[in-house]
């Protein structure tokens, strides 16, 4: 029994971490400087979970523009999105509805943004989502250089997961329907 509970809790923490990252990331995409074209490595660590390892994403300005457009569409589900840039630091506060819960995220990102940045995100869920009322995530992102031969913008490489292309994934009718149902 205990092993089943741990698996369910791990899945819930992973889901909540992805939700928190997408909510804060959506707010950031709308108002942050664009990332440098090329290969980016992103290490995210959700408190209470083992590290999944570094993710790599090949991006270009169109990829960042698509993220920005997506973030602007999602603003309708957010009653508050405050992004405050100050030198090499950007603070974010957002209040968004997600799956019947209100997610309040406070995040701080520090760095050069065109070559590397670090972030801390704290999200509170009211009512709790999947039994979890709070998630804390840290992330480190750095530019590695040009995309690898054969990679195209939007390609994502994740440890132990089949490679995917975010741009193509977002056009998939099944994914679009899933995103509509989550609102």
pLDDT in tens, 98-153: 778 898 999 999 998 889 999 999 999 999 987 889 989 999 999 999 999 998 88
Q: How many domains does the chain have?
A: 1
Domain that holds residue 112: 2-182
Q: Is the pLDDT of residue 14 over 60?
A: no
pLDDT at res. 63: 77
13 half-sphere exposure, CB direction, 13 A CA radius: 18
pLDDT at res. 6: 42
Fill in the DSSP letter of residue 3.
H
pLDDT at res. 130: 78
Give the whole-angstrom CA distance, residue 66 versus residue 128. 30
Q: Which residues share a beta bridge with 106?
A: 93, 122
Give me the DSSP letters along 128-140.
EETTEEEEEEEEE
Q: What are phi and psi of 87, to 5 degrees?
A: 65, -125
pTM listed for this prediction: 0.69
Give the whole-angstrom CA distance, residue 127 versus residue 133. 7
Fill in the DSSP letter of residue 126.
E
- Residue 35's Cβ-count burial label (10 Å; 0-12, 13-18, 19+) is buried
pLDDT at res. 181: 54
């Amino acid at each position: 029994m205990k092993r089943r509970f741990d698996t369910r809790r791990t899945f819930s923490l992973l889901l909540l971490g992805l939700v928190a990252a997408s909510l804060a990331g959506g707010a950031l995409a709308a108002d942050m400087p664009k990332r440098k074209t090329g290969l980016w490595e992103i290490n995210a660590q959700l408190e209470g979970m083992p590290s999944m390892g570094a993710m790599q994403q090949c991006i270009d300005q169109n990829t960042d523009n698509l993220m920005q457009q997506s973030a602007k569409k999602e603003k309708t589900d957010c009653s508050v999105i405050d992004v405050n840039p100050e030198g090499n630091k950007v603070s974010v506060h957002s209040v968004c509805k997600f799956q019947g819960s209100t997610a309040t995220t406070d995040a701080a990102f520090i760095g050069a943004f065109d070559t590397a940045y670090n972030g801390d995100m704290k999200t509170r869920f009211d009512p709790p989502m999947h039994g979890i009322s709070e998630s804390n995530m840290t992330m480190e992102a750095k530019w590695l250089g040009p995309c690898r031969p054969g990679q195209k913008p939007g390609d994502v490489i994740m440890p132990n997961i089949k490679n995917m292309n975010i741009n193509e994934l977002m056009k998939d009718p099944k994914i679009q329907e899933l995103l509509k149902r989550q609102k």
